[in-house]
Every structure is written in structure tokens, then in C-alpha cells.
């Protein structure tokens, strides 16, 4: 609770937190189907209807309500982003801790594999994995998860290496504490702050990557809605029906802004040097 109060006491945290909360609400409504219209029902007579009272954000080429599709799309994109970041942070933390704690060859092998993964641009690597595994929601989750694992591995390994040489770890060794105890209590507990920040920022990237994959037709498959897919559908109608482009575009942009602002705020708040100013 103290952290929430701190976030809303921080300038950019307030804005970022608010944006993220609104998106979460929209995503939940979208996932539960509590949208103004059914996102896949085609209102044939109202095709390409401009935004108005009946259709807040207009309709698309098939007469589907853009606002409803946007909510469903946010739900879809967030689901993919959350699961892929959960995957990446879990895998990255385990690999990073293993590399730092076991050291020597383990460190070498794990980190070289991560370097290979990092060498590819994120979207390219995700594309590669999806092409091999076939498109779909869960393959996107795994693909995006794998793409962001190396970043978490690095974020965990660096501080873990330095924590490992700290005196409290030496002290723990003199009592004969088990490796598991040292890794969980002394390393992991001290990594919570950098991980929290990294998770927030990774959510923004994951959203963007998901949109990219869907845009290229390799993520969410129609008729289900997704932000990238909606953008992709709007390409040929950019001039006749600009709302098809504007609303999903803005939705992506604002969500990423929100996560980044929140991430910046968290970084400030969780930085021990700043703690006294916000706590």
C-alpha cells in the first residue's frame, strides 16, 4: 500500500499509474465481453460509420464497432503482454541467478546463449519463432517471452554478482546457510526493486511487439481483435476512414507512455537513495 501511495505522490507516477489503471479496467471489460457492442458482430448497414453517438469510435469495413474491438483488442494485447513478461521475468530470473551463483562455465554458457538471443532485433526474433511454431495467441506469448528473457537475465545477473560478494552473503556462509536460503533471501529479495522496474518497462515493449506481430498477421488471428490487427486492417482505408487508424494508434501510444512513466516513477521510488524523499 505504501508503494501505491508513493506512486501517486510522484509526478510522472501519478499520470503513468492512472493510464495503466484505465487500461487495466478497459482490458478486463474487454476480456469479459462488457463492451458497448459485440466486437465481432458485423453491422452491415453501418459499414465505415464515422464516430458518433451510436458508435463512439466509428465502425470498420465490416461494420464492427471500433470502440468495442479496441477494448477487446486491449484485453487481448494485455493478456499476451502479461503472460509473455511473466514468462520472460521468471525464466530470466532463474537463468540470471543460476549464472551468477554457479559462476564459471554455467555463467559462460548461459550468458553466451543470451548474447546470441540479444544479437537479433526483438521483432525479428519473435517473427522467427512464430514462423517456426505457427501463429496464435500462445505462440506469441512464448515468442515474446523468449525475446525478452535475455534482458531479465542481464538485469538479474549483474546485481546478483555484486550481491554475491557482499559481506552479508559471506556472513551467511560462515553460519553454513544453504545455497537455496542465500539465493532466495539474500539475492532475490534484494533484486525485487530492479525487477519491478524492469517488469513495468518490459510490459510496454511486449505490448509493442505483440502489436507488431499482429500487424504482420502472425499474432492474434481474425476475427478476434487486437491492436496490431486493427492497425493493419486500417492501412487501405487511411484516407476514407482515418478513425480506424487513429484510435488503435493512440491506444498503443498512450499505453506505452503510461508504462514508461510508471517505470520511471518506480525506479525513482525504489532507489534506496531516494527512498526517504517518498516514503
Partner 1 sequence: MTPLLSVSDLRVGFGRNPKANEVVRGVGFDIADGETLAIVGESGSGKSVTALSINRLVDFGGGRITGGSMKLKRVDGTVFELAAATEPQLTGIRGAEIGMIFQEPMTSLNPVLTIGNQIEESFRLHRGLTGRQATAAARDALDRVRIPDAARRLKYTPNQLSGGMLQRVMIAIALACNPRLLIADEPTTALDVTVQAQIMALLAELKRESGMSMIFITHDIGLVAGIADKVMVMQNGQAVEQGELNQILDSPQHPYTQHLLQDVPHFASGRATRADGQRDKAANTQPALKVDGLVVRFPLKSSFFSRATGAVHAVDGVDFDLMQGETLAIVGESGSGKSTTAKAVLGLVRSTRGSFSVGTRTATAERSAKPVQMVFQNPYASLNPRLAIESILGEPVIATGGRVDAQTRARMASLLERVGLPKNSLERYPHEFSGGQRQRLCIARALMLNPSVVVLDEAVSALDVSVQAKVLELLLDLQREYALAYLFISHDMAVVERIAHRIAVIYAGQIVEIGDARSVLSKPRHSYTKKLIAAVPTIDRRCEHFEIDTRQVPSLVRPQGFEPAPAKWERFGGDHMARVEA
Q: Which is nearer to partner 1, 138 or 181 (CB)?
A: 181
Tell which one of 8, 90, 138, 181 touches partner 1 (CB under 8 A).
181
How many whole angstroms separate alpha carbon 189 and alpha carbon 171? 16
Q: Which is nearer to partner 1, 154 or 186 (CB)?
A: 186
CB of 11 to partner 1, least distance (A): 15
CB of 173 to partner 1, least distance (A): 6
Q: Indicate the Cα dihedral angle 85, 91, 96, 102, nearest 10°.
A: 170
Q: Is 123 exposed, middle or buried (0-12, 13-18, 19+ CB in 10 A)?
A: middle
The three three-digit cell numbers of residue 170, written as one number: 559471506
Q: Is 5 in the site for partner 1 (CB under 8 A)?
A: no
* Residue found under cell 530470473: 93
CB of 189 to partner 1, least distance (A): 4
Choose one: 54-62, 76-84, 127-135, 175-183; the region binding partner 1 (CB under 8 A): 175-183
Q: Is 86 in the site for partner 1 (CB under 8 A)?
A: no
Choose one: 2-10, 33-41, 56-64, 180-188; the region binding partner 1 (CB under 8 A): 180-188
The DSSP-derived string for 31-98 is: HHT-SSS-TT---GGGTTPPSSSSSTT-B-TT--BHHHHHHHHHHHHHHHHHHHHHHHHHHHHHHHHH
Tell which one of 149, 186, 228, 255 touches partner 1 (CB under 8 A).
186
Q: Which residues lie below 8 Å from residue 229, measured CB to CB, with a gap of 6+? A: 73, 214, 215, 217, 219, 220, 222
Residues 130-169 touching partner 1, rule: CB under 8 A, are 166-168
How many whole angstroms separate alpha carbon 252 and alpha carbon 258? 10
DSSP conformational letter for 217 = T
Tell which one of 172, 216, 224, 245 touches partner 1 (CB under 8 A).
172
Tell which one of 175, 180, 239, 273 touches partner 1 (CB under 8 A).
175
CB of 213 to partner 1, least distance (A): 38
Which residues of the shown chain bind partner 1 in the complex (CB under 8 A)?
166-168, 170-178, 181, 185-186, 189-190, 192, 272
Amino acid at each position: 500500500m505504501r508503494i501505491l501511495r508513493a506512486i501517486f505522490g510522484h509526478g510522472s507516477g501519478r499520470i503513468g499509474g492512472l493510464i495503466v489503471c484505465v487500461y487495466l479496467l478497459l482490458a478486463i471489460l474487454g476480456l469479459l465481453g462488457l463492451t458497448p457492442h459485440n466486437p465481432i458482430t458485423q453491422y452491415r448497414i453501418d459499414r465505415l460509420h464515422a464516430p458518433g453517438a451510436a458508435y463512439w469510435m466509428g465502425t470498420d469495413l465490416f461494420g464492427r464497432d471500433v470502440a468495442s474491438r479496441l477494448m477487446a483488442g486491449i484485453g487481448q494485447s494485455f493478456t499476451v503482454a502479461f503472460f509473455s513478461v511473466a514468462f520472460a521475468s521468471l525464466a530470466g530470473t532463474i537463468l540470471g541467478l543460476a549464472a551468477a551463483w554457479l559462476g564459471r562455465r554455467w555463467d559462460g554458457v548461459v550468458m553466451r546463449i543470451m548474447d546470441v538471443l540479444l544479437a537479433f532485433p526483438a521483432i525479428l526474433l519473435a517473427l522467427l519463432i512464430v514462423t517456426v511454431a505457427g501463429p496464435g495467441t500462445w505462440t506469441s506469448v512464448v515468442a515474446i517471452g523468449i525475446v525478452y528473457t535475455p534482458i531479465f537475465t542481464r538485469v538479474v545477473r549483474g546485481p546478483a554478482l555484486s550481491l554475491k560478494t557482499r559481506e552479508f552473503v559471506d556472513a551467511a556462509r560462515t553460519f553454513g546457510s544453504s545455497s537455496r536460503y542465500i539465493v532466495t533471501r539474500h539475492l532475490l529479495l534484494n533484486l525485487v526493486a530492479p525487477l519491478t522496474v524492469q517488469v513495468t518497462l518490459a510490459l510496454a515493449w511486449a505490448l509493442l511487439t505483440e502489436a507488431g506481430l499482429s500487424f504482420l498477421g502472425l499474432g492474434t488471428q481474425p476475427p478476434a481483435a487486437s491492436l496490431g490487427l486493427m492497425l493493419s486492417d486500417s492501412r487501405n482505408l487511411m484516407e476514407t476512414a482515418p478513425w480506424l487508424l487513429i484510435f488503435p494508434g493512440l491506444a498503443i501510444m498512450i499505453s506505452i507512455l503510461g508504462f514508461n512513466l510508471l517505470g520511471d516513477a518506480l525506479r525513482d521510488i525504489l532507489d534506496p537513495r531516494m527512498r526517504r524523499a517518498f516514503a
